[in-house]
Homo-oligomer: A and B are copies of this chain.
Amino acid sequence: MATPAGPGARHHVPALHVHFTDTDALPFPTRSIARGDALYCAGEPLRSLYTVQSGCFKSVAAYPSANDDAVPHAQVTAFHLIDETLGLDGICTGHHESDAIALEDSVVRIMPVGILEPLCREYAPMQHALLAIMSAEIVRAARLALMLGTMPALVRVAAFLLDLSMRFDASGARPDTFDDVILPMTRADIGSYLGLELETVSRMLSKLQREGAISLHGRQLRIVDRTRLERIG
């Protein structure tokens, strides 16, 4: 690897979901979404990008089975925590490519696309930030693909927990300490995201707990031995 870095080097790009710090001053409107409701659905015309102010979302991409299965494969393609941006996948077609579902009662800041492009033409830092966010999203998706293509289940789960805890910590929104996280999604969501069945996720979590890397009660997760977890993931 050409980028030298210390332990935990894999995560030297922690802010994969970058946020629009420069727009904090701008009076964008907000919108509240109840747990389980959709912020937008696949196929809808793209009206805005959204930044999570509170709560949490998952992006679900549906896959039209060629031979009209009644079960058109679907997969969670991303989780979006506080300060992270949703809707980027819709820019290319002008339509959303996935559903965005709230995992908790949530609030988002609305950035209409019609305003966004002219804004970026005026403010170079804003343009740069948008490009950086999109590029980071490309990198994030590519790493996910890499993980799904090459890593065994235990490694995927461990890496997922590390990534999630870092992002929760970055958001600074939780009273949780660095090592305490409440998982906002179900085992099925995690499994879908990682390309595993929910039973496999559960088994790997149990295994990590037996090995002393984590402790968990339901969705309450504590990272007991981060070093051990990093060695695995």
Contact = CB atoms under 8 A, between A and B. Distances in A.
A88 B135 contact: yes
B66 A138 contact: no
B90 A149 contact: no
A42 B150 contact: no
A133 B138 CA distance: 11
Contacts of A128: 117
A25 interface: no
A93 B142 CA distance: 15
B139 A89 contact: yes
Q: Which range holds the interface residue count of chain A? A: 35 or more
Contacts of A204: none
Interface stretch (A67-75, A101-109, A175-183): A67-75
A231 interface: yes
A169 to B, nearest CB: 19
B63 A150 contact: yes
